Amino acid sequence: MYNKMSQQMVIIGSAALFSSMIIIVIISVVIYYQYFQETKKDKTPTTSAPVTTTSAPVTTTAAPVTTTAAPVTTTAAPLSITKSPITSTPVTKITKKPVTTASPVTKIIPSSLFTKKPVTATASSVATVDPLVKCKVEHASKIRTGDIVFINSSDKKCYKCTAGRYTREDLEATNTKACKGTEGAIKEYAISEKKLLPSEGVALDSNIVFACPENTSRNLEAISSETPCSGQCSSLYGSESFEHMSSGVCYTCEGGSRNANLAGSGKECYRSCESGYLPDPNGKCYKCKDGSSRTLYAVDDPKACSTGIFNGDILSPAIFGKDWLYSWRSDGKTSRPLKLKENIYSKATLLG
């Protein structure tokens, strides 16, 4: 109702303003015309009277024009207020969450699909399945992680490649090269079997993955020989051990040193006699009892010592200590057998 009244007042005010403008224009034209006529004629008192009389209504009619213009400005305020609620209506539609309908999907899957127990399969229950599957079930206790299990093409029996030889060659299972390994794989297998320490290295020679014992290295003998590794005597048997003339045999002179005597003489080593004892050329250390001295008899003769002619010439045997010439101790050979010797190729292992 208020809006309609406002619109009517605007229309009335606009019409009044337009009418006033027309009246003003007409009056201006009339005045200008009279002024123009008066300038052409001589001024007379008779013609000037109506000019003053006609100008009076001009000022009186202008008054209502200003009074009707006031309501025009007051009607503009309510027009802008009605636009504010328009922006709030579409916001509520965005908050809808249609994606929540995906939750019932999990209910479609029956729980029985996850309760199957294929691990309980026995040899009889897999009689009709693939022979390889049957083999793995029947011989599960013989199969290690990483083993390659296969069915041989000729005899249709079940075999496996194992013991570090995890690569299957395209050969018969009974062929000596049916399975192939690598240095790393064979080393890992040897460590798992306690045949090798993790710190020990391996090498490859003529398809043989080998490892020499501690403190030894590969010598010039063939890898197929009994002792293809060698070491230093001092490293193998102790700091006093030595090798005799590149014989490959280690010896030790306990508490002494090597002399120039021939090997096998039993007197290969020498040392100093103990305090109070004297060395004899035959390699013994001796002394005579107090008051006695050495005679010309052999040192091992019962008359080796005497009290002298002025003391009754009492003869007595010598007293012996450790020999100063003595035999060496044989420690062992410098060469050693392999600690690990594995061919990278092998036959497959029959499972059944």
| Model confidence pLDDT, tens digit, residues 185-210 | 889 888 988 989 998 889 999 999 99
- Considering only CA atoms, give the Rg of the chain: 65
Q: How confident is the model at residue 250 (pLDDT cuts 50, 70, 90)?
A: very high
**Could you count the other beta carbons within 10 Å of the beta carbon of residue 165?**
28
Go through 109-125 and write b for each residue having 16 or more CB atoms within 10 A of its CB, e for each that does not: eeeeeeeeeeeeeeeee
DSSP for 30-59? HHHHHHHHHHHSPP-HHHHHHHHHHHHHHH
- What confidence score (pLDDT) does residue 79 get? 39
Residue 160's alpha-carbon distances to 188, 205, 208, 250, in angstroms, are 18, 25, 21, 46
Backbone angles phi, psi at 245, to 5 degrees: 50, 50
Cα angle for residues 135, 139, 142 (degrees, 5° grid):
135
pTM for the structure as a whole: 0.51
Q: In Å, how far from its chain's centre is CA 303?
A: 85
Counting residues of the chain whose pLDDT is more than 70, the rounded percentage is: 70
DSSP for 127-181? TTS-HHHHHHHHTGGGPPTT-EEEE-TTT--EEEE-TT--EEPSS-TTSTTSEE-
Range with the poorest average pLDDT among 122-131, 243-252, 293-302: 122-131
Angle, helices 2-40 vs 45-68, to 10°: value is 160
- Determine the 3-state secondary structure of 14 from DSSP: helix
pLDDT in tens, 276-296: 999 999 999 999 999 899 999
Two tokens, residue 273 = 């006699």
Backbone angles phi, psi at 345, to 5 degrees: -105, 150
Counting residues of the chain whose pLDDT is more than 90, the rounded percentage is: 41
- What confidence score (pLDDT) does residue 131 get? 87
- Determine the 3-state secondary structure of 211 from DSSP: strand
**pLDDT(342) > 70:** yes
Mean local confidence (pLDDT), 8-29? 80
The owner of tokens 């107090």 is: 290
pLDDT in tens, 96-120: 455 444 444 444 545 554 444 554 5
